[in-house]
Structure 1
Amino acid sequence: MKLANGQQLIELFEKWAPKSLAVDGDPVGLQIGTLNKTISKVLVTLDVNLKIVEEAIEQQCELIIAHHPPIFRGLKNMRTDIPQGRLIEKLIKHNIAVYAAHTNLDIATGGVNDLLANALQLKDVKILEQTSAEKLMKLSVFTPKEATEQIRTALANSGAGKIGDYTSCSFTSHGEGRFKPLESATPYIGKANELSIVDEDKVEVVFPQSIKNRVLKALLTNHPYEEPAYDLYLLDTEVNEKGLGRIGELSNSITLADYAQTVKSQLNVPFVRVVGDLDRKVQKVAVLGGDGNKYIHIAKRAGADVFITGDLYFHIAQDAEAIDLAVIDPGHHIEQIMKAGVADYMNKVCESHKITCSFIPSKFSTEPFQLI
């Protein structure tokens, strides 16, 4: 086992929830302090307040990973006689860095919205609103028969040829290759200034556009020809779809009243607010952690019977009622599910990389509301 560098830890974290997934303008990433230090313990929290900072100090954490960025809008000053300034001052004095993973963690596969969908026991879960995807590319390369298997293996190892739950996918066709090396060439087959006719295979694979350079490097490193012949095509097919919210199905239909009780129990909240006829049956469920007011029409168009989200505004609740969409509001704080989720994920990652670092979920609630 080896000690962890902060930058190394965040690189591992961002393989799961890259900053590129965040919506425009979302201030994700390192907000306070430095990652250029050894880190042995990380506190995972929904929000950062003075109580959380005290917990980090007590637990001897060198880094806090928070879902909600403590600096959301640009600072106009750094006064230590106001709450935000005191918070930042304390973090700096104790050399505790703060890293924010907000909408990128909402969107990431296995992130906040998937954690909520799992807690709600939804099946056949899909993205509620797609925010990004990438195009597939196709590579067609011509190779002498004796090198075909080597090329196929190298391309598969680079990540090419993955289709859904299948890997090492390729198609091979046979044909005849013709070429005449010039005097300056150093041909693998044939002689300079002589026409060569060779039995060749054409190997075709698809891959996400983001790994194009890696695939081409594998091809050029492993191909025996001095000048390999290949074609690259950009396809219309999209893969690696990412997005906000999730939509899935319950095993059986249930009344809205009974399901509201289930949501209250499964998300461990003291109460929920409900919009809609309590006797109606619901089965298709949309969920979006945090403030989902902008998404009621998206949830309706997706066919949801009920939409679970927080911070529902009065007039948005009336709009939902008007379009016959039931809504259950368990509060914004349900996103605290990320504390255990992130800690569990990163502890497993550290273990697999033989890194000595502990990720611990904060034991404190940052829910500001009390029920009387």
Structure 2
Amino acid sequence: MPAQPSLPDVIAALDALWPRERAEQWDAVGAVCGDVANPEARVTRVLFAVDPVQEIADEAVRLGAELLVTHHPLYLRGTTTVAADTFKGRVVHTLVKNGVALLAAHTNADTADPGVSDALAGALGVRVVGPLVPDTTDPAGRRGLGRICELDRPLPLAEFAELAAARLPVTAQGIRAAGDRDRLIRTVAVCGGSGDGLFDAVRAAGVDAYLTADLRHHPASEAREHSPLALVDAAHFATEWPWCEQAAAQLDALADRKGWDLRTYVSRTVTDPWTAHAASVASPTSPASSTSPVHDHTPGAPN
């Protein structure tokens, strides 16, 4: 008969999926709050989400979860208070008062096998060939940052951007694309989260397009000037939310193997900070736009 696992056992299992020592030195991963050393603390429900914000903490409480796993850390930088008159303090108080532990898996999940970019590639329906920036400590050559992928069939850039808009969670930003709308895309590099620091690796990979989030003007402009590389820019939240489903499935598989009576849930709450989008309209006092929007979305739940 399935048994309810302890909180330390579940956290140990998740740490094995995304070892904390593989996180970047600046990162803040692992347990944030909860009775994580108590073997009597039991887990029956686990909620996965991108952001440890109040709305997600309240959702975990309503669900009756004993563990909340988020991709983004609550305290990425140092703090001197967890007082409830700060928003992060309120999150901690809400979770502790209701017996919910919090675990963050950030850059250790980014480079894992499978990792955040594998989930992004899966959501897009593209085939992973290998990591964009390989982890030199992985003899199998599967871990690393970002992924190099192939499409099943070539698509014009505009159509590939439409595909991304249809398959990724709906956000106010939608999808932006840079490049010849008719250029055929056969290979693409993807990186969940902010990826404009990887342009050297993307150029070295020789792919047709690069899909990531948070592309800034100057790095994007320089990347376009250096090569015919097409760029596809999605919302940060949208590129990382697919990992929640992948992570939940990984824990489900572990629970089955270990005989645990455990249920996993994925939050469909959109925690992207942007809530509205207005398409630019040419006016007599502004330069006329030479391109038209590829796609526009209004806020809503992940597809």
- TM > 0.5 fold call: yes
Measure, in 2, the Cα distance between the counterparts of 1:117 and 1:133: 23
Deviation at 1:132, TM superposition (A): 3.4
Deviation at 1:286, TM superposition (A): 0.1
**Residue in 2 aligned with 1:248?**
149
Measure, in 2, the Cα distance between the counterparts of 1:265 and 1:92: 38
**Residue in 1 aligned with 2:210?**
307
**Residue in 2 aligned with 1:320?**
223
**Residue in 2 aligned with 1:101?**
105
Q: What secondary structure is seen at the aligned counterpart in 2 of 1:360?
A: strand
**Residue in 1 aligned with 2:242?**
337
| Aligned equivalent of 2:189, options 286, 290, 300 | 286
| Aligned equivalent of 2:260, options 342, 355, 360 | 355
* TM-aligned CA distance change 1:266 to 1:95, over 3 Å: same
Deviation at 1:241, TM superposition (A): 4.6
* TM-aligned CA distance change 1:343 to 1:75, over 3 Å: same
| Aligned equivalent of 1:77, options 67, 71, 81 | 81
Measure, in 2, the Cα distance between the counterparts of 1:281 and 1:336: 27
Q: Does structure 1 residue 39 correspond to structure 2 residue 43?
A: yes
Deviation at 1:28, TM superposition (A): 0.8
Measure, in 2, the Cα distance between the counterparts of 1:279 and 1:7: 53
Check whether the contact 2:66–2:100 (CA below 8 A) recurs between aligned residues.
Answer: yes
Measure, in 2, the Cα distance between the counterparts of 1:286 and 1:274: 14
Check whether the contact 1:133–1:241 (CA below 8 A) recurs between aligned residues.
Answer: no
* TM-aligned CA distance change 1:253 to 1:267, over 3 Å: same
**Residue in 2 aligned with 1:167?**
none
Measure, in 1, the Cα distance between the counterparts of 2:135 and 2:114: 16
**Residue in 1 aligned with 2:91?**
87
State the number of aligned residues. 269
* Gap runs ≥5 in structure 1: 135-237
Measure, in 2, the Cα distance between the counterparts of 1:328 and 1:40: 40
**Residue in 1 aligned with 2:21?**
20
Measure, in 2, the Cα distance between the counterparts of 1:241 and 1:273: 29
Deviation sequence 1:86-115 (CA, Å, 0-9, x none): 221222222211100011111111221111
**Residue in 2 aligned with 1:265?**
166
TM-score, normalised with respect to structure 1: 0.69
Q: What secondary structure is seen at the aligned counterpart in 1 of 2:5?
A: strand
Q: Does structure 1 residue 63 correspond to structure 2 residue 45?
A: no
**Residue in 2 aligned with 1:184?**
none
* TM-aligned CA distance change 1:268 to 1:46, over 3 Å: closer
Q: Pick the structure with more strand per residue.
A: 1
Matches within 5 A, 1:208-223: none
Q: What one-letter code is carried by the residue in structure 1 that aligns with 2:255?
A: C
Measure, in 2, the Cα distance between the counterparts of 1:119 and 1:363: 15
Q: What secondary structure is seen at the aligned counterpart in 2 of 1:355?
A: coil
Measure, in 1, the Cα distance between the counterparts of 2:9 and 2:72: 22
* TM-aligned CA distance change 1:268 to 1:366, over 3 Å: closer
Measure, in 1, the Cα distance between the counterparts of 2:245 and 2:50: 10
Deviation at 1:298, TM superposition (A): 1.1
Q: What one-letter code is carried by the residue in structure 2 that aligns with 1:294?
A: G
Deviation at 1:276, TM superposition (A): 1.5
Alignment RMSD (CA, Å): 1.6
Measure, in 2, the Cα distance between the counterparts of 1:252 and 1:23: 36
Deviation at 1:55, TM superposition (A): 0.9
Q: What one-letter code is carried by the residue in structure 2 that aligns with 1:65?
A: V
Deviation sequence 1:233-269 (CA, Å, 0-9, x none): xxxxx44552000001112222111111111112243
**Residue in 2 aligned with 1:371?**
276
TM-score, normalised with respect to structure 2: 0.84
* Gap runs ≥5 in structure 2: 278-303
Measure, in 1, the Cα distance between the counterparts of 2:8 and 2:196: 36
**Residue in 2 aligned with 1:126?**
130
Of the structure 1 ranges 75-84 and 97-106, higher mean CA displacement relative to structure 2 is found in 75-84
Check whether the contact 1:117–1:125 (CA below 8 A) recurs between aligned residues.
Answer: no
Check whether the contact 1:133–1:239 (CA below 8 A) recurs between aligned residues.
Answer: no
